[in-house]
Amino acid sequence: MSDLVTIKLPDIGDISTVEVIEVLVAEGDVVAVEDSLITVESDKASMEIPSPVAGTISRLLIKVGSEVGEGADLMVVEATTEAVAAEPTTNAASDGQTDTNNSSAPASAPDNVESKSTDQSSDAHAPGHAHTNASVVDQSAIDNADFSADLVVLGAGPGGYTAAFRAADLGLSVVLIERYPDLGGVCLNVGCIPSKALLHTGQIINEAADLADHGVVFNKPEIDIDKLRSFKEKVITQLTSGLKGLAKQRKVTVVHGHGVFASANTVSVTDDNKNTQTIGFKQAIIAAGSQSVKIPGLPYDDERLMDSTGALALADIPKRLLVIGGGIIGLEMGCVYDALGTAVTVVELSDGLMPGADRDLVRPLEKRLKKRFESIFLSSKVTAIDATDAGLKVTFEGGSAPSSDTFDRVLLSVGRTPNGLNIEAGKAGVKVSERGFISVDGQQRTNVPHIFAIGDIVGQPMLAHKATHEGKTAAEVAAGMKSWFDAKTIPSVAYTDPEVAWMGLTETDAKTQGIAYEKGVFPWAASGRSLANGRNEGVTKVLYDAETGRLLGAGITGTNAGELIAEAVLALEMGADIQDIALTVHPHPTLSETLNFACEVAEGTVTDLYAPKKAPKH
């Protein structure tokens, strides 16, 4: 039996009218229960309205731009009686539990469904939680706090401080909570920035040595470890001081200590002296980041076993260093210590360095590192580490690794895990996965509408530049703006020597997902600028759609690849095709023109290489 069901706008709280900003279905479309039908927006929030019935869209009664209020007719759906979802009745049992066995009880139609059939005996589940900026606010909890603000940001890394500053610029009163003495989080204090300071030093050392092939010979460098450490700390201090000043200029209140949720509208912060204060908020942004993964059973009480933070502390220059994990962080730190004179060994569980990157991009790096590092053991793992007077004795298994060896220091770099389980988010009603991740929508909202989450804690890739853009989105939405995070790609960069960078679709993913593509590859052995720099191992490649020529992805290995990848990111965001890039005049001689050349290879117009002829496109 069919019913013509008129779907109405459900109760949307204290909002009188909303604007239809998207119609997600068309007449004739088949929809299931809970499929999104339209997106509406007020001055406070946006939300999708789901279908309370399953069936076929018979007639649309609204369009983009329509102003509608509660009970307004949205569309007519031809639905069968069986397709109208039954809502379980809730009978309070004596123990306070819901009786889910009373399936025979008749149900009434939901408020936003009007059926023309008098035979209807089942109903639809009412639309779920509406995303409003002000969900239920526990004003008494806020009033009882030590102090309060419009917005609390938990974590002052790149994403957190960006969110706090943007929200303050938009007129919100903001409290920024940070567990460390300085703003900037892991990235600025013990991650991205100090590692780049040391990598720059290492690069200069290597370039000076390489000049011997050009007839310019320098003496072996004398490394003052204390002065080098001071340089790194000076860079950090300059940036953290700048952030402190920016917070003050914006009147952002900074609170130092470990913050955890006490309720859906309060956070409890405990400082190093065990003093605790409660901060109330109307909205919150979780930017609590991640921490290094630890392998159980290793001697973490021995300072010779380091994580990335310990490696960046630069306590000394060990004679021999083992890096456990051949990913980006491990290889970057390996490059630093190699340049400083340490004999570096890398052990990686998978069959190649930097898992996740295309093999042709990693190959030039791996070839160079095999010459510089003491050893690289692939398809191998560490099964035990024993602390001895002579060093850390490491037991290996698999691959070409020896049964055991002894190292002065060991760097454990096998990934990072989110801090979602360390902030008592459950007390605020925020759902956290077993691994510590928090799910969010396109506006960075969690399942609790007035609490947002950004950065490492919401999932891969765990990168600062992703977090900053997510932070801006969350802050703008909290301030009532119509913002979404919808980046087409997040670029990845390994600041090794040579650097490796990629964005968009990788060949590995394309093959796994069965996505058709073609590619153009330009070797840097044909780049005049790269050869003039004394380097020939680089490569630039582009992936594109064979039918449309639209850019799908790109990868670059070579000097300053991390700087060069930005052009490809912009091209992808703008929907460029390979001809757009090939016809863009790049300065010569530069490394940036290798992207231009790769696109010329793709379309068969390159003259800096001899490539098979391709029919010209008109």
Q: Which of 256, 450, 465, 588 is catalytic?
A: 588
Of 396, 399, 335, nearest to 371 by C-alpha is 335
Cα distance from N-terminal residue to C-terminal residue, the chain: 56
Token pair in block for residue 129 = 């939680």
The Cα 341–Cα 320 span in angstroms is 9
Cβ atoms 598, 541 nearer than 8 A: yes
Burial (CB count within 10 angstroms: exposed 0-12, middle 13-18, buried 19+), residue 516: exposed
Token pair in block for residue 512 = 């796994």
Is the backbone peptide bond immediately before 50 cis, with ω within 30 degrees of 0?
A: no
State which H helix or E strand residue 602 sits in: helix 593-603
The Cα 549–Cα 129 span in angstroms is 42
Cβ atoms 332, 495 nearer than 8 A: yes
The Cα 285–Cα 163 span in angstroms is 8
Cβ atoms 594, 556 nearer than 8 A: yes
Bridge pairing between strands 147-154 and 174-178: parallel
465 is catalytic: no
Token pair in block for residue 453 = 């989450």
| DSSP states of 50-100 | EPSB-EEEEEE---TT-EEETT-EEEEEEEEGGGBPPPPP--B-TTS-B--
Find tokens 């609390």 and name the residue. Answer: 152
Is the backbone peptide bond immediately before 181 cis, with ω within 30 degrees of 0?
A: no
| DSSP states of 205-262 | HHHHHHGGGGT---PPPPP-HHHHHHHHHHHHHHHHHHHHHHHHHTTPEEEESEEEEE
List C-alpha distances in Å: 35 to 111, 127, 141.
Answer: 18, 10, 36
The Cα 66–Cα 488 span in angstroms is 29
Cβ atoms 319, 337 nearer than 8 A: no
Cβ atoms 158, 467 nearer than 8 A: yes
Neighbours of 57 (CB within 10 A): 19
Neighbours of 191 (CB within 10 A): 21
List C-alpha distances in Å: 358 to 114, 351, 488, 551.
Answer: 55, 13, 19, 17
Q: Would you put residue 238 in left (φ > 0), alpha (ψ -120 to 50) or beta?
A: alpha
- Half-sphere exposure of 471 toward its Cβ, with a 13 Å CA cutoff? 31
Helices (H) and strands (E) in the chain, counts: 14, 31
Give me the active site residues, please.
588
